[in-house]
Amino acid sequence: MSNINHKRFQTRLNRRGILALSCATAMAAGGMPALAQQGDTPAIEEIQVISSTRRPEALSTVNASISVLDDSELRLVSHTHIQESANRMPGVNLNRNNGQESLTSIRSPVLSGGGACGAFLLAEQGIPLRAAGFCNVNEMFDSHSENAERIEVIRGPATAFYGSNAVHGMINVVLPEPSTDREVSVEAGPRGTLRGNARLGFETGNTTHTVLLNGISEEGYRHSSGYDQQKLSWLFQHSTEGGVNLNGGVTATNLNQDTASYVIGENAYKDDDLRRSNPNPEAYRNNQSLRAWTRINYQLDSGWDVVLTPYLRSADLDFLQHFLPGSPTEKNQHESIGLQFASYRDLSPDTTLSAGLDLEYTEGSLLQSQDSPTVGSPFLEATIPEGRHYDYDVDATQIAPFAQLQHYWDNGWDVTVGLRYERMHYDYVNNMVDGRVREDGTECGFGGCRYNRPADRSDTFGNWAPKLGLRYQITDNHQAQFRLTRGYRAPQSTELYRLQNEQTVAELDSVEIDSAEVALEGYGDRWAYEATLYWMDKDNEIITDSDRININNMHTRHTGLELGGSYQLTDDLRLAAAYNYARHSYENDQLSEGININGNDVSSAPRQFGSTQLQWTPVESVLTELQWVAMGSYFTNPSNTAKYDGHNILNLRTRWQASEQLTLALNILNLTDRKYAERGDWTPFDGDRYFPGEPLRAFFSVNWKFN
């Protein structure tokens, strides 16, 4: 194809691509990504999920917007970054920054900033990756998603079983059940990429064990952007003679990353030199995490089924804040001990009562320091001194009782009613001199230092979250659902105690969101679909204003349509797609760049995006997939004066099961070598800036199963 024709082709894709994707989705008949499998396809009623009620239940019986990627689809994608898998699902738009970094979007704009991570509950085995109040926007790299058995996503506020941070949605990485299966794989790719993966199962007595290993080393496409990452999980399953089932394990992760920052300038991601550059080659990120848990299942004589999950968590992050004047270093860590308790009882053949209690205690700390004087304007040099900026400890206690009642009628109707109350308490201790002064207590110029350290204090937040769900079984293959839910999050510890300028106390309330949605779902022997309309109103959103003061001063509205589905066109061809139309808008008067943004699109909020997968199985042992990923345009600033035009990417994946033990795979990403941005952004200081997407690249892997 000539350059001129290629440009015309890309222009047509930009203008018509999302619309065509919508038509493809409708033709596909809708949205159960879990059905995009190789080989035997489980019926929808056989797919089990745990993210709704913390115990396995059939996906077809759950009244929630849940999407599932199972083991077969995860093996086909074989992601090196979870974005490659998660964005196949309706409503999900993970942005990949550099290396293993990510920003999350589920029925929301792509949120960034210190408290943005509080809008999503990110979990493994149903246990949050980070403690409530101590989240990190990149925390998905703490999960062992590369060896997951499935990934479950709840879109919109989660159920009564989950609380703080489940505002816009939840991602739960589910690891495989322990077994004696054994396999190892090796993958090679461009720029020295080498990855190893292993699953080793064995038995000792009546206990089954599985060890999961994953390690990757990559030089990086951009200058000084390589990383090394290792993950280890040990899983066990044991049943006692008394009928108690134990299922637990340990996950440990380590990441050492050289971080590449935004490239700056209009359409900088299209420039061959700029897109490979790294304006901050000194930047780095080191992260370690550890979680240990045991899920204890037993039945009481009274008829209650009990699930008790004690857990331990540790997270340690050290990184250079290259995006701040003076490039200070931040070291934050926290250790938690927690308990998830849930109980279930059938009050009648048609009625089930669930009740439980979540408890968590966390000890956290944060240290921000700068090794050398700030270089810049006289104002910056005078107000941002070298030395320690913050050094504080925070203890947090989370207590959350909840209950849920489900009732079924013979006429096809059922109802789910739930209620959760959560109390979050912080005890903060400042280990430095209070106020906006230097480490030694001396004054800064221009009225005081930028960073302000509050005096020791305690803060408590309480939130109620009611849930109501109605469902009607229209026919054996179709059902309608209606849901009213409320989500919330307490302010994060950094929003409360990492203050600037004249703010000595952050008078913040919890963020709250009210959600209403209507859904249609259906499935047959060769097809499945889902269509969901949602409306969400979020109040008390926490922002940092132009004076760098943390305030509850943002009201936003989020409405959208999600379509997804699959259709078996022939015995050899299968089509699956997900299409999303959403409008995320500011709903209160506020000036940005002198413009009242009330009614504007929230920045980093594409109105349309999605993906389509066409799978071809010419013979039983070969599966090839052509994937089209479409990203619509979006504004990159609140005043809606700057925009990223969107992109269309093609990926090609092939798996060949050469024998019962040996599988070969080839994944070719960005098949047409499109120049695009993983993320577009804008600031008043830099203007347009981007994380450039990687060019055409191929990964070849060999997987060997053995006894």
In our burial notation (b when 16+ CB lie closer than 10 A, e otherwise), range 51-81 reads: bbbbbeeebeebbbbbbbbbebbbbbbbbbb
Question: With bands split at pLDDT 50, 70 and 90, how would you rate the model's confidence at 541?
Answer: very high
**What is the layout of strands, in order, in the sheet containing 677-683?**
263-264, 687-692, 677-683
545 beta partners:
none
Give the Cα separation of 87 and 94 in Å (integer). Answer: 6
pLDDT of 242 > 90? The answer is no
Looking at the structure of the chain, the number of domains it has is 1
The predicted-structure confidence for 259-270, as pLDDT tens digits, reads as follows 999 999 999 999
Within 10 angstroms of residue 248's Cβ, the number of other Cβ atoms is 19
Q: Which helix (H) or strand (E) holds 582?
A: strand 573-586
CB-CB contact of 95 with 86 (8 Å):
no
Task: For residue 350, give Cα distances in angstroms to 353, 404, 405, 406.
Answer: 10, 14, 11, 8
| Cα separations in angstroms, 258 against 135, 225, 311, 319, 320 | 21, 5, 32, 10, 10
pLDDT at 575 over 90: yes
Predicted confidence at residue 434, as pLDDT, reads 97
- Residue 6, pLDDT above cutoff 50: no
Rounded CA separation 176/235 (Å): 8
Residue 125 has pLDDT above 80, yes or no: yes
Q: What element of type H or E holds 657?
A: strand 647-657
Extract the tokens encoding 350: 């048609």
Contacts with 475 (C-beta within 8 Å, 6 or more apart), sequence order: none
Please name the amino acid found at residue 518.
Answer: V
Establish how many alpha carbons lie within 13 A of residue 201's alpha carbon, considering only the half-sphere containing its beta carbon: 15
Q: Are 578 and 106 in contact (CB under 8 A)?
A: no
- Find out whether 632 and 667 touch, Cβ atoms under 8 Å: no
Out of 7-21, 136-150, 220-234, 240-254, which region has the weakest mean confidence (pLDDT)?
Answer: 7-21
CATH number, position 157: 2.40.170.20
Specify the higher pLDDT residue, 547 or 327: 327
The C-alpha atoms of residue 701 and residue 183 are separated, in whole angstroms, by 13
CA 258 to chain centre: 22
Q: What Rg, from alpha-carbon coordinates, does the chain have?
A: 25
pLDDT tens digits, 636-687: 999 999 999 999 999 999 999 999 999 999 999 999 999 999 999 999 989 9
User: Which tops the pLDDT comparison, 287 or 53?
Assistant: 287
Say whether 61 sits in a helix, a strand or coil. Answer: helix
* pLDDT score for 14: 44
Average model confidence (pLDDT) across the chain? 91
Cα gap 210→337, rounded to integer Å: 24
Share of the chain above pLDDT 90, in %: 85
Integer Cα distance of 48 and 56 in angstroms: 6
Give the burial class of 284: count Cβ atoms within 10 A of its Cβ; 0-12 exposed, 13-18 middle, 19 or more buried: middle
What is residue 46's predicted lDDT score, i.e. its pLDDT? 61
Banded pLDDT at 45 (limits 50, 70, 90): low
Q: Is 129 exposed, middle or buried (0-12, 13-18, 19+ CB in 10 A)?
A: buried
Number of residues that this document lists for the chain: 707
Give the per-residue pLDDT at 32: 40
Sorting pLDDT into bands at 50, 70 and 90, what band is 475? Answer: very high
Confidence class for position 19, pLDDT limits 50, 70, 90: very low
| Per-residue pLDDT at 23 exceeds 70 | no
Assess contact for 486 and 514: CB atoms under 8 A.
yes
CA distance 228 to 79: 15
Q: What pLDDT is stored for residue 21 in this prediction?
A: 40
Report pLDDT for 37: 37
Buried b (16+ CB within 10 A) or exposed e, 9-36: ebeebbeebbeebbebbeebbbbbbbbb
pLDDT at 35 over 70: no
How far from 251 is each of 117, 234, 313, 434, CA to CA, in Å? 21, 7, 10, 38
Which residues touch 486 (CB under 8 Å, ≥6 apart)? Answer: 157, 464, 465, 466, 467, 512, 513, 514, 515
| Model pLDDT, residue 27 | 37
Residue 113 is which amino acid? G
Residue 479's CB is within 10 A of a number of other CB atoms, namely 21
Residue 17 has pLDDT above 70, yes or no: no
Q: Which of 188, 180, 147, 70 is nearest to 705 (CA)?
A: 180
In this predicted model, which residue has the larger pLDDT, 599 or 117?
A: 599
Which residue is associated with the tokens 């090794």? Answer: 371
Mean pLDDT of 146-163: 91
Residue 644: Cβ within 10 Å count = 23
Q: Are strands 169-174 and 120-124 parallel, antiparallel or unpaired?
A: parallel
pTM of the model: 0.93
pLDDT for residue 44: 52
Q: Give which of 31, 153, 36 is closest to 562, Cα–Cα.
A: 31
Residue pLDDT, tens place only, 490-500: 999 999 999 99
User: Beta-carbon neighbour count of residue 460 at 10 Å?
Assistant: 11
pLDDT value for 58: 79
What are 606-642's pLDDT values in tens digits? Answer: 999 999 999 999 999 999 999 999 999 999 999 999 9
Domain that holds residue 102: 3-705
Rounded distance between C-alpha atoms, residue 111 and residue 108, angstroms: 8
pLDDT of residue 376: 94
